Structure 1
Amino acid sequence: MSFDDLLKDLQGQKTIQEDPSRPSLEKLFPASFMRKHSRFNSFREFQENGNFQADTLQDIEKISGELFDRHIDRETDFPNWKTMLESANREFERGK
């Protein structure tokens, strides 16, 4: 995160810009998906449990790695982020 982004975030001026070609995290990982595949009621709750914070898929891509994969493996039905994201995308596409 750049200094300007951090400053805007601290000042409450940062806006989440969603890529129109990708669904938001809330749409991609709705409560029904999270309850089905984990003990959490929301993706936000799942993140907070692992001390991760992301508002967009782009943010997730910046943090995804071994620690995130281990959290996913421990706390969900999935072995890693790639598998979880693929499943969420399939379910999202079916629900459209």
Structure 2
Amino acid sequence: MEIKKTALAGTTESSDIQITLSKGNDGIDVDLTSDVKKQFGDQIVKIITDTLNKFQITNAKVRAVDKGALDCVIKARTITAASRALNQEDQINWEVL
């Protein structure tokens, strides 16, 4: 699926992650900022990428600012940003959940 608009989900508060999703040209490019990037960066990127793949998004620029979010929060924020970027806020994609 093609991203229709830039979308944002989440905050930069403690234990949260802010995901900004915009159009990309060359696959899924994740720019991650996190204090725990050394320890958990690969896992965070994997959760974001796997979630976007479930939406069939193949080209996207992702800016992720992590403040210690759990995996379930990362997935939830990514789902929300993807739904907004695809103009599908009112249409729940149950297969992704």
TM-score norm. by structure 2 comes to 0.30
| Structure with the higher strand share, 1 or 2 | 2
Q: Which has the higher contact order (CA 8 A, sep 6+)?
A: 2
TM normalised by structure 1 equals 0.30
